[in-house]
Amino acid sequence: MTESANNLMEKVVSLCKRRGFVFPSSEIYGGIGGFWDFGPFGVELKNNIKTFWWKKIVQERDNVVGLDSTIIHNPKVWEASGHILSFTDPLRECKDCHLRFRADHLKDDKCTECGSKLTEAKQFNLMFETYVGSAKETASKAYLRPETCQGIFINFNNVVDTMQPKLPFGIAQIGKGFRNEITLGNFIFRDREFDMMELEYFVKPGEDEKQFDYWLKERMNWYLGLGFKKENLRFYEHPKKSLAHYSKRTVDIEYKYPFGWAELEGVANRTDFDLKNHAKFSGKDLRFQDEKGEKFFPYVIEPSVGVERIVLALLSESYREEKDKEGIRVVLSLNPKVAPVKVAVFPLLPNKPELVKVAKNIYEDLKTCFNVAWDDIGNIGKRYRRQDEIGTPWCLTIDFDTLKDKMVTVRDRDTMKQERIAIDKLKDFFQTNLS
């Protein structure tokens, strides 16, 4: 990373801890690598991202439905999917300090920590193992899912039987994934526990390439709609020799993180690999029957993304520092649709009951529609700065004029412009700007 990029990463990490976005998991015990807890504003940001994704992928489409499958499946699922044999990374271990490294990330044969020799590379399965059953002797080995899509494939017949869809149609899912990553780093970019948002879009064979191109454009437009700059996004086409065992074609949407270009989301043409293999291993007929009575295995287009990577990209994209008359103003210029708090309500003077009463009434009323913050600590300037730092788009100040004209001062985060708006028009104002 360049010095400026490294500086941005440090500032984002510091902001996340200081302002309650992200905390190291189990921090009081020294933490645990690759696991993160999301604080009061972090969980709101994550939930808003999920809601925005679900709205665009599921709710606004007539041919996509949702699913919530279990984290632990029958172990045969992972045999059929190829994960038990193929979901591996090359691992090398230091003979002295026993640190482990991904072989394809190393430049030479020496440990980067102590300089000792490394073992020869061996394949390391990234799935977390667990056991199902109350008695250890009779418990059976199982795995925490490394992706959510297999839960969709094994429920393919259930969804078809209950919803009776026509091709093309999709099944979407948001849920936890677990990968025992060898190499971590770059904050929340590569985690061992994370939230995934995946769509499996089933299409007729022969129409897959057209649908693949459609979803590439759709997903890129989704990020542009979130407020990402076009120059910070790009497509990366995976060469055929590096494609996953199930993929006909995979294209990543990459983001220019502070540490460089890296995958934000992957769009894959999984062909009919998954349904065919699950049919073979389960003995169930997973073919789709069309209106003509023809049976076949649909092809699958899969847009897949980790929520934490979007969070990191959004924080990096929206973080800025501006000089003002009081020094440096830190701002998260988040899209209002995903901002953790939409509106902050300030009584001008917290020791004036008449102002507090009106402010509380406005606060309680707005809370029925939006996530609203109450802030009456310090002067107005300090309150603005606190809200700017967590990305709150609008702040309302209730002053003595409010008691006369029933209007409040609304201050915009990005422009810092202020305007007077009638109390009974506030909901309409915010709903219009959030639509």
pTM as predicted = 0.92
Q: Count other Cβ atoms within 10 Å, centred on residue 199.
A: 26
Instruction: Give me the chain's average pLDDT, please.
Output: 94
Kindly tell me if the per-residue pLDDT of 5 is higher than 70. no
So what's the pLDDT on residue 116? 87
Domain boundaries, the chain: 3-73+146-315, 341-434
**Residue for token digits 């807890």?**
37
Of 55-64, 123-132, 244-253, which range is least confident?
123-132
CA distance 32 to 115: 25
Kindly tell me if the per-residue pLDDT of 138 is higher than 70. no
Specify the fold of 3-73+146-315.
BirA Bifunctional Protein; domain 2 (3.30.930)
pLDDT per residue over 14-41, tens digit each?
Answer: 999 999 999 999 999 999 999 999 999 9
pLDDT-derived band at 2, boundaries 50, 70, 90: low
Superfamily designation of domain 341-434: Anticodon-binding domain (3.40.50.800)
So what's the pLDDT on residue 393? 98
Kindly tell me if the per-residue pLDDT of 121 is higher than 90. no
CA distance 298 to 208: 9
pLDDT per residue over 420-431, tens digit each?
Answer: 999 999 999 999
pLDDT per residue over 338-382, tens digit each?
Answer: 999 999 999 999 999 999 999 999 999 999 999 999 999 999 999
CA 103 to chain centre: 28
